[in-house]
Amino acid sequence: MSKNNTDQLISLIIKGVEDVKGKDINILDLRDIDNTICDYFIICGGTSNTQVDAIVNSIRKNVSKEIQEKPLNVEGLNNSEWVLMDYVNIIVHVFQKHIREHYDIESLWGDAKLTKIETNY
């Protein structure tokens, strides 16, 4: 995927999260770390199973509508506490707060460049 396509996909994912008021959006740039499975993680939070589902559906809808891309795989919809969406070189993690705090992915990937997305809601 070209840099422009990657940047557009990141923007569409972020917009999908923001459209349903997802919280604490972080982008981890993994490109300078050896042996990673993708280039970026996008991590965000929802306050309930319903909001996590809404975030996932909003991301799918935005990305599909604008660039006709679908995630390669989506896991975790059975309980919607941690849903992973695999867009090949971008993996989206949608967490409920207690699960996000438990796994603390941002700390596990402490060498990654972290970008926090400011939201106005």
* Share in percent of the chain as helix, strand, coil (round to 5): 40, 30, 35
pTM: 0.94
Cβ distance 109 to 120 under 8 Å? no
pLDDT higher than threshold 70 for residue 107: yes
pLDDT higher than threshold 70 for residue 1: no
Q: At what angle do helices 49-67 and 3-19 cross, to 10 degrees?
A: 140
Helices (H), the chain: 3-19, 49-67, 97-103, 105-108
Domain boundaries, the chain: 3-116
pLDDT reported for residue 71: 96
pLDDT higher than threshold 70 for residue 2: no
pLDDT higher than threshold 90 for residue 18: yes
The predicted-structure confidence for 26-44, as pLDDT tens digits, reads as follows 999 999 999 999 999 999 9
Domain 3-116: top CATH class: alpha beta
